[in-house]
C-alpha cells in the first residue's frame, strides 16, 4: 500500500484480491472500492497528484494496470464511475512502473518494455528487451534502467520514442529491485551487493 494526499486528507491506497481500496489514513474508514478480477497483487500503487489519479496493478500473471480518478468526493463502489482507463496486456506481475513527464514506463515478466500515456492509458511504444524480468525499473534523469533475471541491464531513454542507450551484464542474475540514493545505484544480485557511483 501507499499513502496519497487527496485534497486536505491522507488516504491509504491498497490493492487486494479482487478489489482495490482507498482508506482514510487517520481513521481506517473505507472510502472507496474498485473491483477487479485478479489476485496476489504485490505492486505498490502509484499516485499522480497533479491528475488526481491512482494507478493500480491488479497482480497475477494477467495483471491489469488501472487508473482510478480519486478526489475528496470519491466514495463507495466506483468501478463503473471512476475508472479512467484499464490496460489489460503487457503489465508486470511484480515490477512497479516509473513515471516521467506524464508517461508510465514498465517491463512485463517476458521482457516487453512499454511506454504508456498516464492520462489516456494508450500505448506510446512497446519493445522487446532480452530475457525475463521481476525487478522494478528505476529512473535517473531521462534514463530508465531495466534489470533482468539473467543479470542484464538495459538502459532506455525516457521519451515518447524507444531508444536503447546501452546494455551491461552482471555475472549473476537479479530479481531484487535496484535502489538509488545519494547519487549511487545499489544492486543486489544472487550473491553480491553492488554500489555504482562516480568517484
pLDDT in tens, 48-91: 999 999 999 999 889 999 999 999 999 999 999 999 999 999 99
**SS3 at position 28:** coil
Residues with Cβ < 8 Å from 151, sequence gap 6 or more?
A: 169, 170, 171, 172, 173, 174, 189
Q: pLDDT tens for residues 142-198? A: 999 999 999 999 999 999 999 999 999 998 999 999 999 999 999 999 999 999 999
User: Distance between CA 143 and CA 151 in Å, rounded?
Assistant: 18
pTM of the predicted protein model: 0.94
Cα-to-chain-centroid distance, residue 136: 7
Say if residues 69 and 75 touch (Cβ distance below 8 Å).
no
Amino acid at each position: 500500500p501507499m499513502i496519497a494526499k487527496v485534497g486536505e486528507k491522507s488516504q491509504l491506497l491498497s490493492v487486494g484480491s479482487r478489489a482495490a481500496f482507498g482508506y482514510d489514513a487517520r481513521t481506517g474508514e473505507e472510502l472507496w472500492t474498485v473491483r477487479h478480477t485478479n489476485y496476489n497483487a504485490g505492486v505498490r500503487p502509484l499516485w499522480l497528484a497533479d491528475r488526481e489519479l491512482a494507478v493500480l496493478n491488479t497482480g497475477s500473471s494477467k495483471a491489469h494496470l488501472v487508473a482510478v480518478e480519486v478526489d475528496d468526493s470519491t466514495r463507495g463502489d466506483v468501478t463503473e464511475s471512476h475508472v479512467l482507463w484499464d490496460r489489460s496486456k503487457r503489465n508486470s506481475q511484480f515490477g512497479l512502473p516509473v513515471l516521467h513527464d506524464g508517461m508510465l514506463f514498465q517491463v512485463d515478466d517476458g521482457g516487453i518494455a512499454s511506454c504508456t500515456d498516464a492520462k489516456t492509458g494508450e500505448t506510446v511504444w512497446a519493445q522487446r528487451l532480452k530475457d525475463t524480468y521481476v525487478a522494478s525499473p528505476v529512473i535517473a534523469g531521462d534514463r530508465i534502467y531495466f534489470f533482468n533475471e539473467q543479470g542484464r541491464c538495459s538502459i532506455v531513454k525516457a521519451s515518447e520514442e524507444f531508444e536503447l542507450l546501452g546494455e551491461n551484464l552482471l555475472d549473476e542474475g537479479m530479481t531484487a529491485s535496484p535502489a538509488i540514493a545519494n547519487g549511487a545505484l545499489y544492486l543486489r544480485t544472487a550473491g553480491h551487493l553492488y554500489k555504482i557511483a562516480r568517484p
